[in-house]
Structure 1
Amino acid sequence: MSPHLILRVVAKLLIPLIVVFGFYVQFHGEYGPGGGFQAGVIIAVAVILYALIFGIDAARRTVPPVAVRFGAALGVLIFAGVGIATLFMNGAGEPLNYLDYDALHPDQGHHTGQHYGIILIEIGVLTTVSSVMLAIFYAFAGRVPDIPDEEW
């Protein structure tokens, strides 16, 4: 019997719950505490836990570094894209306002555009934060120690 059998079984049960909780924090963040940053860290922690239990190579196969770099860039593009879209979607004669979410939906009375804008921005933040956290983890976890194990 493997000495890490219990850790592996518990991790397989916990990792999906951690990801679901991360998405709960993401989509509940506009109504209460939380949002893209916290959800991004929580989802990155699920992958980091996977790496700690199953190994860094298994984690890199599951979430490749190329996908991590792409996610970091995509999140910034989503954030900036929403801002640029709102900048140019204002009506004629109105001032150009970056991240003026009301331009995203014509229903100004209920501020539906505000709701859409916040969700899009938080998705961009989630993508960027989780990707950057994983990039930092991969950089540190893949580093070769300067001192061999025999010299400790």
Structure 2
Amino acid sequence: MKSYLVLRVIAKMLIPFMLLFALYVQFHGDFGPGGGFQAGVIAAAAVIFYSLIYGLPKARKVVPGWLVETMLAAGVLIYAGVGIAGIFLDGNFLDYFVLSADSVAGQHRGIFWVEVGVATTVSGVMLKIFYMFAGRGRQESE
């Protein structure tokens, strides 16, 4: 892809907007369509797009395999942590109302962190699947 200068320039301009849109979808998910799953897929698509334009080895330098695997675990831990926090605060698992003195603020806080956990896990899973399929038959070290 080194000879495709136009694609490389367009990708450099487009990828930051893709990531910004992923953040918009993440933060807008509380009030309208969107949320963690969609934001995670959009963020992963930006990295996959980078990989298609610049090559898999460069993408693995930007988002290495250990980071992808950490994202998988961290997202699940964030999601479960919100649920366990509800139990420790004398509520039920994923009971958002006990996360703050104001039940509406607690519900907003709980949904926000659950969506962050979902976005982190979904992005990590999408990248892990892409790395596994794109790296088949290659001898690369991460």
Indicate whether the TM-score tops 0.5: yes
1:8 to 2:1 alignment: no
Correspondence list, 1:18-29, <5 A? 18-29=18-29
CA distance in 1 between counterparts of 2:68 and 2:15 reads 18
Superposed CA RMSD in Å reads 1.1
AA partner of residue 94 (structure 2): L
CA distance in 2 between counterparts of 1:107 and 1:74 reads 28
Task: Give per-residue Cα distances to partners, 1:38-74, cap 9 Å, x unaligned.
Answer: 0000000000000000000000000000000001000
1:104 to 2:102 alignment: no
Runs of 4+ in 1 over 6 A off after TM superposition: none
Residue of structure 2 in register with 1:118 after alignment: 111
1:134 to 2:127 alignment: yes
Number of corresponding residues:
137
AA partner of residue 30 (structure 2): E
Helix, strand or coil for the counterpart of 1:19?
A: helix
Task: Give per-residue Cα distances to partners, 1:11-47, cap 9 Å, x unaligned.
Answer: 0000000000000000000100000000000000000
CA distance in 2 between counterparts of 1:4 and 1:125 reads 36
Correspondence list, 1:1-152, <5 A? 3-90=3-90, 96-108=91-103, 111-144=104-137
Q: Give the superposition deviation at 1:3.
A: 3.1
Same amino acid, percent of matched pairs: 58
Gaps of 5+ in 2: none
AA partner of residue 31 (structure 2): Y
CA distance in 2 between counterparts of 1:114 and 1:97 reads 13
CA distance in 2 between counterparts of 1:48 and 1:40 reads 12
CA distance in 1 between counterparts of 2:69 and 2:137 reads 21
Task: Give per-residue Cα distances to partners, 1:92-140, cap 9 Å, x unaligned.
Answer: xxxx4111101100113xx110000000000000100000100000000
> Normalization by structure 1: what TM-score?
0.88
